[in-house]
Amino acid sequence: MWHLHLFLRPPSSPLNMEFLSPITNKYIKAQSVEEVLWQYTGIADAESAAAKGEMPTPERLERAPRSPLHALVIGIDHFKSERINNLRGCVADADAIDDYLRTDLHVPSGQIVNLRNEQATRVAILRELNALRTWSSIRKDDPILIFFAGHGSRADTPIGWSAGSEKISLIVPHDCLVEENGQTIQPIPDRTIGALLHALAESNDGDLTGKGDNITVILDCCHSGSGTRVSEFTAERLERGFVMEEPIPASLDEDLWSGVPDERAIAVAAGFAKAGSRSHVLLAACREIQVAHEENGRGAFTRALLNTLRGVATDKVTYQDVMERLPDISDQTPQCEGRNVDRILFNALSPSKERVIYPIVHQEGKLILKAGSIHGVTMSAKFSIYASRDFTTSDTPLALVEATAINPFKSELTLLPAQDDDVPMLPTDVNCYAFQTSMGKAEAIRIHIPLTNDLLPAMMALARELEMQQTSSQAILLSDEKSADIGIRVREDGTIEFVILDPLITAYGIRSLYPAVKPDARFIHPILRGASHFFWHLRRSPEKNMLRNKVDVEVSELVEDIDAELDEYLCSPLKRTGDNLFRGGAVDVVADSKRTYGVAIQNKTAVPMHVWAFYFDCSDLSIFEYYRPAAVGPDAEPMLPAHGTLSIGWGAAGGRPFTYFLRDRQDQDVGFIKLFISTEFVDLSSIPQRSPFMTDRAAGPRGPSPPAIWDTVTIAVVQRKAGLRLPAPSA
């Protein structure tokens, strides 16, 4: 134990301190807190250095604090079975990850478990994955990293497994396919790893061992390829994967996954994950149908990833940011999947969504913004351009630009004349980033405010918002009552009520927002701004609805599947029941907070698609994210397969089941589920908003590239009390 004595002194006198050294059991003198801390670190020559009167160097005093990150790092080049090709770069990749953790992130060696080659047996990998739950040094929400470099594989889905596809994905341990005690050692299925990650993240039966969902899984392998050994390879470019010919036993690892619901355990991503990956974020070397390569003794993905990580501030970028900064990898499209891809790297925190930044590239002499009409970009929208996505508001922009041609997923920009001499022109030899400063010719929200004295606070709030309209917020215009979207009136008690005038909503009998607010501009202003965001995203659609008739949408009530196995909370998984409730553009549901609902989207085309789903609450102007794509990035794997179905709210795809309730003094309510469907991945994470009222709520050949198309489907959800029949909406 260290004993520290501080001697109080007058302001002009030197500071004198003594502390008891546990090495010599003698008191050592110091003249500053820094010197105490330096000697406290236990440097071997601290005593002799102090005796010589040497002071610590600044480098020693600035030693980084211990990182809370813990890691399991696995690399396998050599395989025991003669049926599996050996690799050359997986151990080197794992060693490079270990070095990055210790050197760049200052993770103590004692917090990293390393398995290489013959150490990485099936038993050892499962043991160490399971052991992470018991590490006392891992506190809840501490970052956990699991890295695997080696062979991956695919196999037919065993009978009785709810895998969501005909194939399952696997990772290959060192002793895979070896006969032992009359049994073949099997690869490790995605279902097993998913179950272990679920158990690591969540507490079970009151046992407070759950470490939280701050888990990152990195897989530099693939689940197709030709890694089974025919002869020794001499090529410098090797594939990290193969297809299993033998079936996987249906009972494999049943003791590990039997207590975990299928929708959480069946996958980890890109063949190893689905959108419901709530326990972890996965970074995968390639898409499910692609092959991961190693070249010149290193994995192409791991090398690119580490180079990128070393060039960013890991406490300021998200997983999605990192993947967007990766250089192109030949024949590989890395994937980033999971519910928390917009969190800060190795952190349970999410960045503010107030600032949306788009990349800019130079193509054929044109300045191209990687955002288009689906993002809400309109003609004449203006942007400030910066050299780094990490700019601050005090930085001078490189240039000012305006959108002059809008496409579904990109826009053409034109440089504007500099507003002053301090704004330079945009360089043409580097990629930059755009921050939107005005909406351009976006459709405005129209507000009706009667010109009366008691509505003066509302006029003041509107004036304040109009002063700020050179920003990226949607435009607000004063209007007469007939053409307005919302209106404002004073109630008998003096409070301000917001009246809904938009026929899209009033057709279902809803006439006002909830609740009324004080007649104060400070309360009214955020509601006006929230309303502009709400109505802009609710109403916007492409000029031509080219996909709407190419998908079928069903909304169903969900009930417990009592014939299925219970999960670890003794709850049954959900399944659909009854007929399709989506008729005539609307869904009629009973809002009792007990019944749950889900959406199924069937793709009638040969082109896979990406889907986002949001719920727009017309009573409080909140926008809630129902579903987001599992994978992010320009070449992310679409979750709505060609001629396939995506279920939201139940099953393997993830997403939350929907439930509805009515507020006090409400007999009915209405909201809208809006689906954004596109042939390319887009990031729509800036659409959700909290209520401004601050109320609580409710493998094959590559085909031709699909055309750039997006569309929306809007579903009215009319909510009522049980027994109450509502009239059909007026025309």
Residue 192 has pLDDT above 50, yes or no: yes
Cβ atoms within 10 Å, residue 682 = 21
Closest to 193 in 3D by CA, of 266, 120, 252, 140: 266
Least confident segment among 101-110, 156-165, 503-512: 156-165
CA distance 700 to 564: 34
Q: Tell me the pLDDT band of 507, cut-offs 50, 70 and 90.
A: confident
CA distance 102 to 106: 5
Residue 71 has phi, psi (to 5 degrees) of -145, 150
CA distance 398 to 418: 10
Cβ atoms within 10 Å, residue 442 = 20
Please count the CA atoms within 13 angstroms of the CA of 393 that sit on its side-chain side. 5
Amino acid in position 637: E
Mean pLDDT along residues 349-377: 80
What is each CA distance from 114 to 97, 117, 216, 509, 560, in whole angstroms? 10, 10, 16, 63, 42
Which residue is it, tokens 């050949």?
701
What tokens were used for 441?
A: 């010719």
Contact criterion met (CB below 8 Å) for 653 and 710: no
CA distance 121 to 112: 18
CA distance 519 to 521: 7
Question: Which of residues 655 and 219 earns the better pLDDT score?
Answer: 219
Q: How far is CA 597 from the centre of its chain?
A: 24
CA distance 155 to 166: 9
Closest to 596 in 3D by CA, of 562, 647, 560: 560
Domains and CATH numbers, the chain: 4-61 (no CATH), 70-337 (3.40.50.1460), 357-438 (2.40.10), 445-539 (3.40.50), 549-695+704-720 (2.60.40.10)
Least confident segment among 36-45, 99-108, 463-472, 567-576: 36-45
CA distance 166 to 189: 14
What tokens were used for 243?
A: 């297809």
Which residue is it, tokens 């909201």?
671
**SS3 at position 721:** coil
| Cβ-count burial 490-503 (b if 16+ within 10 Å, e if not) | beeeeebbbebbbe
Q: How far is CA 652 from the centre of its chain?
A: 17
pLDDT digits (tens, 9 = 90+) for 447-487: 888 877 778 777 777 776 565 554 555 667 777 888 888 88
Highest mean pLDDT among 79-88, 336-345, 501-510, 525-534: 79-88
Residue 307 has pLDDT above 70, yes or no: yes
pLDDT digits (tens, 9 = 90+) for 405-439: 999 889 999 988 765 555 455 666 667 889 888 77
Residues 6+ apart with CB under 8 A from 301: 220, 285, 286, 292, 329, 332, 334
| Cβ-count burial 160-191 (b if 16+ within 10 Å, e if not) | ebebbbebbbbbbbbbbbbeeeeeebbbbbbb
Closest to 239 in 3D by CA, of 117, 84, 114, 96: 84
Q: What is the DSSP letter of 226?
A: B
Amino acid in position 544: K
What tokens were used for 113?
A: 């478990």
Highest mean pLDDT among 165-169, 367-371, 566-570: 367-371
- Give the pLDDT of residue 366: 87
What tokens were used for 583?
A: 């008729």
CA distance 365 to 617: 44
Residues 6+ apart with CB under 8 A from 480: 448
Q: Tell me the pLDDT band of 525, cut-offs 50, 70 and 90.
A: confident
Contact criterion met (CB below 8 Å) for 19 and 27: yes
Per the document, the length of the chain is 731
Which residue is it, tokens 């979750």?
639
Q: Which residues pair with 617 in a beta bridge?
A: 671
Highest mean pLDDT among 103-107, 203-207, 313-317, 664-668: 103-107
pLDDT digits (tens, 9 = 90+) for 201-237: 876 544 446 888 899 999 999 875 544 433 344 457 8
- Give the pLDDT of residue 37: 37
- Give the pLDDT of residue 348: 65
Query: Euclidean distance between the first and final Cα of the chain, in Å?
Result: 81
Mean pLDDT along residues 137-147: 93
- Give the pLDDT of residue 418: 63
CA distance 514 to 722: 21
Amino acid in position 8: L
